[in-house]
A and B are shown apart, each in its own frame.
Chain A
Amino acid sequence: MKLMPFNFEPLDEESYFISNIAGFSSFVNLKQLESIIDFGQTFNPELDRLLENKLFISAPSSVNTAIASLASALGKRVTIGLEFKPIFMIVPTLRCDHSCKYCQVSRASINASGFDLDKKLIPKIIDTIALLSTPPYKLELQGGEPLLRFDLVELIYQLAEEKLGGDSIEMVIATSLSLVSDEIIDWARSRNVVFSVSLDGNQLVHDKNRIHPSGNAYQLAINGIKKIQSQLGMHRISTVTTVTDELIKNPLSLLDTHKALGLLDLFVRPVSPYGFATTRSSVNYSMQEYMQFYAQLWDGIKQYRAQGLPFVEHSAAIHIKKLFVPGFSSYADLKSPSGVVLNCVLFNYDGHVYGSDESRMLQKVNPQLDFSAGTVGEISFADSDYYKNLTSASFNFLHPGCENCAFLPFCGSDPCQNISMQGEPIGDKSLSTFCEYHKSMFKFLVNKYNTSADDKSLIEDWIHA
């Protein structure tokens, strides 16, 4: 048997995770790994057959076929990754009634002027969306707090409905829910609208970093969630959790908070290291501490599942799909080429158009440079050196550090984060928070998959989550 190119990652003293550029993966022990490298086989016929079927080794007479197969699989992956399937983000206002400590976008204060989207731009925005994409259209309203300008939200929906068709649009409103009124609920009732709210834990945890002048950010969020659930249905609301120093110490509180609301879907992630977030005092934990937290959360989820509460944590589910579902490439923040432009077009309140939420943050921090692709009505990503370079610098199989990483086919790249942290789009992976976080998650999950039947079946469940 002949050895084909693959990467490996030690999970513990004994076990190794192996993968190749085609996205096949498997587990071997150290002795087997050494034997594959020395002899092109493990001498265990069943394992050798598996390794051959997954293109880790090849019969001498089939080496060319194996090479052609690896190449075809890589080509397929890159082609799927290059599909232009953007979510359209619109920022009706940068103003916000909260002043959260880890806020990534540096919001504007509630009474500031000049931070709202000009009404006249909305028809042009919708025209641009119609021009750029095909149904179904995903619109995501970001802030600031979009509901401060509910009139604009209504107008955006109305024009989108007229131009794109009511059945072809789906709107997500990212909001803290402090302003969700009966009027808004009534409006949403017959429309394809869902709400996404930050919920960072119980009252203590949540209110520590999410600051509303009333001092009651948590209660406002909870009231809003319940209102939406009871009047619009459970599926109309989802949560996003940003892990802070407070939650790190008490992972299970997050599950209790969700359980009390009948919410069984979580989306948990560490604080983003962008721009403003880390300069504040809300994050002092290391990635190691984060993963300890995550392991406890995982165990908690397992316990609840055993009691019949099928919690799903979607960050893990995304990593799992990347590992086990060939062709899964729809999550903008974990793909290569990166999701910038390809999976996101953002219309900012000031009329500038960006290829990602992170690009508008870079803009905010570096006002002397232009990170936009122009303004509404006059955009061109193709003419923008920034976006061209960003995309071509986001193929991770060409990145030093990634090219010999066993998670390469499943991982992604975040050129904006690298620019923000290291001043250029590729970045030194040994210094990259993106790398540290995703490598930790992948490693955590494949290790669980390999060592416990329970965990394995949980992971297989989440493939379909």
Chain B
Amino acid sequence: MPEVLRNDLFERAAGESKLSGFYVLRKCQPLIPGFLPQVIVYENSSTVINPETPALINSELFRAIEDGDIANINPNGKIRVILSRRANHNTLLLTERCDNRCQFCSQPPKDGDDSWLLEQAILAICAFNLDGEIGLSGGEPLLYRDDFIRLLDTTIEHAPRTRLHILTNGRAFADLSFTKSVAQRTEHLSMSFGIPLYAANSAVHDKLVGAEGAFNETVKGIINAGNSGINIELRFIPTSENAQELPFVAEYANRVFTNINQISVMNMEPMGWARKNWDELYLHPLEYPLILEYAAKITRQNSTPLYLFNYPLCQLPEHLHELSVQSISDWKNYYPEECSSCSMKSQCGGFFASAKGKFLQSPQRYI
């Protein structure tokens, strides 16, 4: 693995009690019964106070966490810190199932009942009780309609300062009564929904998301959600199939949709199916600067801002730098060797950790 900005993966030492599942990581006593079982993390064996309670002795982990962070320990002893008070983004996976089959999906959907993921997520959100944002992703997080509503209700009750950002394909909002029940909860919980629209027509959108009828449901979904007062971040990933559609999507957003807080244009992440389809889909940003510029112009005239995510600065014309956001989550963000002497490094978002080999477009450092 390349050097990422924040490591989130640790090993359980051999011989440590066979804990597995979601845990609250504690650095101090006492343990109070809560939503999840708790485990104390010690820096080394000499600091162990209470040998009775479940414990992990791991100095690296100890230094990486805050009291109350949440970890998932798998049966093989891998410890992943899934909710961290130090992270720049925290994201929970609600399901691996999805009704789309996007050609560039970074987390390719799986079938089969995995509703336990959502149950665990509810407990994790409540146990973490953050005054800040947690991202919910999938798969398609709204697939289990009623369970998602229950997640909102539980969060409202036990972790009301949490702000949720939900990454969804928006199709569920085509169902107006579901939309209404989500909208009711926005009075008590801050939430916004990131919904991708890859074209203003069904042919291109449906092809990219690998599902006929998806465009119709997503567009109706965005209309319903926006008009019900739900905050939306509209997302767009330019590929060789749809880059030219961006200005149309921007105009559509400004004329047809309401409550769009921002349009996020996101560089493709070389993960999952995007890796497999990379050669057909990937378009180097310097092949479409005019499109980005034009779309930015359309949105500048309105109150909806447009931002660029996951673009290394050296892959954008300079006048678009101001739209670029340092966005890659720290646990998968890295800067290749070439960046070390680049004068823009502190402002630049760098690369996905998965961008190696043919997936890395060589950085052109600024001196």
Contacts and interface: CB of A to CB of B under 8 A. Distances in A.
A325 B202 CA distance: 25
Interface in A25-58: 49-50, 52-54
A326 B215 contact: no
Given A52-B201, A62-B215, A325 B248 contact: no
Given A65-B220, A69-B223, A464-B301, A53 B257 contact: no
B251 interface: yes
A61 B213 CA distance: 8
Interface stretch (A71-79, A172-180, A421-429): A71-79
Contacts of A23: 255
Interface in B220-240: 220, 223, 226-227
Contacts of A53: 199-201, 245, 248, 252
B248 A65 contact: no
Contacts of B223: 68-69, 72
A105 B192 CA distance: 51
A270 interface: no
Contact of B220 (A68, A324, A327): A68
B256 A49 contact: no
B303 interface: yes
Contacts of A79: 258
B301 A24 contact: no
B256 A69 contact: yes
B181 interface: no
Nearest to B301: A325
Interface string B328-358: 0000000000000000000000000000000
A321 B252 CA distance: 17
B215 A324 contact: no
Contacts of B203: 59
Interface in A75-90: 75-76, 79
Interface string B87-115: 00000000000000000000000000000
A87 B257 CA distance: 28
A463 interface: yes
Interface in B289-332: 300-303
Contact of A72 (B201, B227, B245, B300): B227
A133 B201 CA distance: 41
A411 interface: no
A64 interface: yes
Contacts of B301: 321, 324-326, 328, 463-464
Instruction: Classify the interface of chain A: helix, strand, loop or mixed.
Output: helix
Interface in A418-465: 463-464
Contacts of A255: none
B254 interface: yes
A93 B254 CA distance: 43
Most buried by A among B257, B301, B302: B301
Given A325-B301, A327-B303, A76 B258 contact: yes
A53 B258 CA distance: 18
Interface centre among B213, B220, B223 (most CB of A within 10 A): B223
Interface string B194-226: 000001111100000000010110011001001
Given A76-B255, A326-B255, A69 B219 contact: yes
A50 B53 CA distance: 66
Contacts of B257: 72, 76
Contacts of B252: 53, 69
- Indicate the member of A62, A321, A328, A464 with the most B CB atoms within 10 Å: A62
Contacts of A243: none
B258 A59 contact: no
A22 interface: yes
A326 B302 CA distance: 7
Interface string B240-272: 000001001001101111100000000000000
A326 B301 CA distance: 8
A65 B171 CA distance: 13
Nearest to B253: A326
Contacts of A328: 301
Contacts of B201: 49, 52-53, 59, 62
A68 B218 CA distance: 12
Contact of B202 (A61, A73, A75): A61
Contacts of B213: 61
B58 to A, nearest CB: 53
Contact of B216 (A61, A75, A325): A61
Nearest to B303: A327
Q: Which of B215, B251, B302 has the most CB of A within 10 A?
A: B251
Interface in A89-129: none
A73 B254 CA distance: 9
Contacts of A326: 251, 254-255, 301-302
Given A53-B200, A76-B256, A64 B245 contact: no
Interface of B: 199-203, 213, 215-216, 219-220, 223, 226-227, 245, 248, 251-252, 254-258, 300-303
11 contacts: A24-B251, A53-B200, A53-B201, A54-B200, A54-B251, A61-B216, A62-B202, A64-B216, A72-B256, A321-B301, A326-B301
Given A65-B219, A68-B219, 11 more contacts: A52-B201, A53-B245, A54-B200, A62-B202, A62-B216, A65-B202, A65-B216, A69-B256, A76-B256, A326-B251, A327-B302
Interface of A: 22-24, 49-50, 52-54, 59, 61-62, 64-65, 68-69, 72-73, 75-76, 79, 321, 324-328, 463-464
Minimum-distance CB pairs A-B, first 9: A53-B248, A53-B200, A326-B254, A325-B301, A326-B255, A65-B216, A73-B256, A72-B223, A69-B256
